[in-house]
Each structure stands twice: as C-alpha cells, then as structure tokens.
Amino acid sequence: MISDVTFGQYYPSKSFVHKLDPRIKILLLIAYIVMIFLAQNFLGLIASLLFLTVVIIFSGVPLGSVLKSIKTILFLVIFTALLNILFYSPKEGDTHLFWVVYLEGLISAGFLALRLVSLVMGSSILTLTTTPVSLTDGIESLLSPLKLVKFPVHDLALIMSIALRSIPTLANETERIINAQKARGADFDSGNIIKKAKALIPVLIPLLISAFRRGDELGDAMDARCYSGSKVRTKYKKLTLSARDLVAFLVTAIFFAGVILLNIYELNVLAYFAKIWG
C-alpha cells in the first residue's frame, strides 16, 4: 500500500542512534553509501549489511518499518535485475544456463539488487531516527562554509527537510484520492501495466492541487509566525558533539576499512575458506 511508505517519516525513540548528532548521522550515511559502492564483491557487501544491521539494532526501530521502505523501489529493483540478466555480456568461460541467461548474469543481478536495497534501507534509517528540525539544522551546519560565498544555506536545508517530510504526506494523500475514486467506480487493479498507468492519470491533477494547497498553507503559517529564514535567527538547541558520536565514527571507520580490505584480499579470503571447507 502507498501508506506504507516510511521514507521521510520519524520513529520516536530514545535509542543510541536517535541521540547522535544529526551532522554525524548525515556523514555516516554518506560513508555508508560510499561503502556500498566500494564493495565489489559479496564479501564487501555483506560487511556493509552487517554494519546496517548493527545500526538498526542500536536504533530501536522495528525491522518491519525499515523493510517497508523497500516497497517503494521493489519494481525498480526487479526491473533492473531483469535488465542485467537479459542483457548480460558473456565472457569466455561463463556458465550458460538457458536462452540468454548466464550464471554470472544472475550473480551480477543479485549483487546489484542487494546494493539498491541496502542503499534505500540505510537512507530510511536517517529519516526514521532524525526529526525534520534536527535534519535541517544538521544540513545547515554542514553546508555553513558556503555562507562565505553568500549561498542561501539555511533556505536550501529548509527546502530539503520539507521535501523529505512531504513524502509520506503525499503518499497518504495519493491513497486517499485513489480510495475516493474507487468508491466512484474507478478501476485501478485490472488490465496490463499500460492500462493501470493510464488509470492513475486522473489521480495526478487532484494530487497536484492538494500539494500546492498544502504548500500555500505552510507558507501562510510561516508568515503568520514571522518566519524570516536565516536572518538574525537563533536556535533553541545548539548542536554539540559527544562521546557517542566519536564511538559511532570509529565503528563506521572500522567497517569502512573492512570493506576496503575485503576488496583487496578477496581472492585470499575465498581461497582460505575453500581450504577450510575442502
């Protein structure tokens, strides 16, 4: 269901991850993304997933809430995997299974699908454990050097935060519109993919109207509260680093180094396990 979208939602808790400085969480997410793309084999990807598992455990967020984020990209994952399987360029020595399908193509598709899933799950942890206000403050603080060149850092951080927060709101609004049109006889379930896509076109107009209306209401609410952006603006809570932020940084650095080493010594590790199991 569209209402199951978790990206952009916040899960309240007092866990170790929730208490981390938002700047550290943003930097750790960037490091995790780099870690995923540095992994060139399943050993490196497994190390990245192990890191994500540790983060989920210490975040206190239910695993189901994190897994729900995969639903939004499930079609993309399947479609990308099929493209990798069907259009795989075979090399000499590859194992041919049937038609144009090769064993190495299946392995490559599985690796890419696992990488995409890991990427989305890691990103959803950031929004599930960080309030929109903290996320805005963290982005603004990290981009603060750009203020030297008169870049509107605060405005950019605010726009990014509002955009993230609007994802679940628009998802709920979309489902409400679909249910209202179903009650009036609209059919969104039968037919092929093209017919289903055409059936969603009437949903776009009321959704856009609703999005613009919410934007106007938000702007009016900010004006009514005399919001003036970054001009002479103070903060109730100032961001400060603590010992837990240092621990999180060190743990991430260890996993990061592990992924790099697994990429370098892949053959030696595989030979070692083959010798043990042999």
Give the whole-angstrom CA distance, residue 134 versus residue 238.
10
Q: How far apart are the first and last CA of the chain?
A: 47
Let me know if residue 223 belongs to a domain. Answer: no
Query: What single DSSP character describes residue 188?
Result: -
227-266 pLDDT, tens digit each: 776 666 677 777 788 898 899 889 888 888 888 877 776 6
Mean pLDDT of 195-207: 78
Is residue 273 one of the residues assigned to a domain?
A: yes
Average pLDDT of every residue of the chain? 80
Positive/negative CA dihedral, 82, 85, 86, 89? positive
pLDDT in tens, 115-159: 888 888 888 888 889 887 788 888 888 888 888 888 888 778 778
User: What is residue 1's predicted lDDT score, i.e. its pLDDT?
Assistant: 47
d(CA 159, CA 152): 11
In a domain, 185, yes or no: no
Rounded to two decimals, the pTM is 0.74
Asked if the structure places residue 136 within a domain, the reply is: no
Question: Mean pLDDT over residues 11-19, rounded?
Answer: 87
Report if residue 164 sits inside a domain: no
**What value, to the nearest 5°, has the Cα angle with vertex 272 and ends 267 and 273?**
105
66 falls within a domain: yes
Length in residues, the chain = 278
Count of domains in the chain? 1
Range of the domain at 8: 1-130+249-278
Instruction: Identify whether 222 is part of a domain.
Output: no
11 domain-assigned: yes
